Amino acid sequence: MSSLILDDFTDLIERPDGGVRRDAEERRERQAVPPGSLGRLDDLAEWLSAAQAAVPVKPVERPKAVLFAGDHGVAELGVSARAAGGAAELVRAVLAGASPAAVLARRLDVPVRVVDMALDCDADELPAEVAGHRVRRGSGRIDIEDAMSEEEAERAVRAGVALADEEADSGTDLIVLGDVSVGGTTPAATLIAALCGTDASVVTGRGGEPIDDLAWMRKCAAVRDALRRARPVLGDQMQLLAAVGGADVAAMTGFLLQCAVRRTPVILDGVVSAAAALVAQRVAFRAPDWWLAGHDSGEPAQAKALDRMALEPLLTHGVKIGEGVGALLAVPLVRAAAALSAELPVEETEQAEQTEQGEQTGQAEQTEQAEQS
């Protein structure tokens, strides 16, 4: 396997079409509803129009929730409300349709794809389509050892790239990106602290299922120790993911980068997807233009990462559970913005101008035909 050079993504990723966005803005100014009266829905529709390279914006018809799953060895320290190695149970709940993410996705008509990257269970306990991309069983305890080897990190990033290609090729027009993990917020906080140059206490939150003060102190210590291991490899994002990330985070990083290459818009969920996005931004600075922040989870590390990427959350509901739930809640908002932009009537003046232009074109064609004859 040839070595994957992350820096190549810089040249592969272009920004959404600025000219199309200006056309969308001009069209919005001619609609009957005054510009600005729909608040952020206007900006959202114009962003989506640029991402689609279409005016008027097309409806979101084929969204997909993609959830990357993994267990993190640092959970052994009691930094999570769930027992270490318990992510497989969460995955089974999603697959059975019994999790919050599964319920919302069913109601919103959003298919869910779960990808096992590093669950701590036997691969044959899960459907082949879930476990088919697994890199390893669990990730290392990042306070004292690497999450994985560099070779495993590269395999995980490549898996994410391949999955993004699969979704783009199948016609998916909007991605909801989330994670299903136990202990995942600790490496996420470490990555964000390392990339933002902050201390452990600034980024350490209480996780999806809030932990008590003692567990939070243990988590701060774990992030502090992991940061000591992260700082020497800050210049190499693959080494950074191997040292203090995890196979799920690495796969999400590759997935986000390739979604930007394939011009596929993504809604980020919580702090884990934000950490992967921040690593991806370090690789390719234009990539965040293809992403939306679905919601504010209340995790300080997420807020730090979104601020660094200049992404403002669409929703603030205090949803902490992860699994793509907060991002799924933003899907109706994106669909509403697209519908309003496309279906609100334009002013009669614009219609008249279009009619007049059409008549003039027709008259010119008739004149030309008469001269030729």
Token pair 């994985």 is found at 148
Catalytic entry in 14, 323, 353, 359: 323
Active-site residue 323, yes or no? yes
The tokens describing 124, both together, are 């044959």
- Consecutive H or E run containing 247: helix 247-261
In sequence order, what E strands does the chain have?
Answer: 63-71, 112-118, 174-182, 266-268, 291-293
* CB of 203 closer than 8 Å to CB of 272: no
Alpha-carbon distance 274 to 190, whole Å? Answer: 12
Side chain identity, residue 1: M
In sequence order, what E strands does 167-317 have?
Answer: 174-182, 266-268, 291-293
Question: Closest by alpha carbon to 138, among 183, 204, 80?
Answer: 183
Alpha-carbon distance 307 to 15, whole Å? Answer: 19
Phi, psi of 117 (to 5 degrees): -105, -30
Active site amino acids: 323
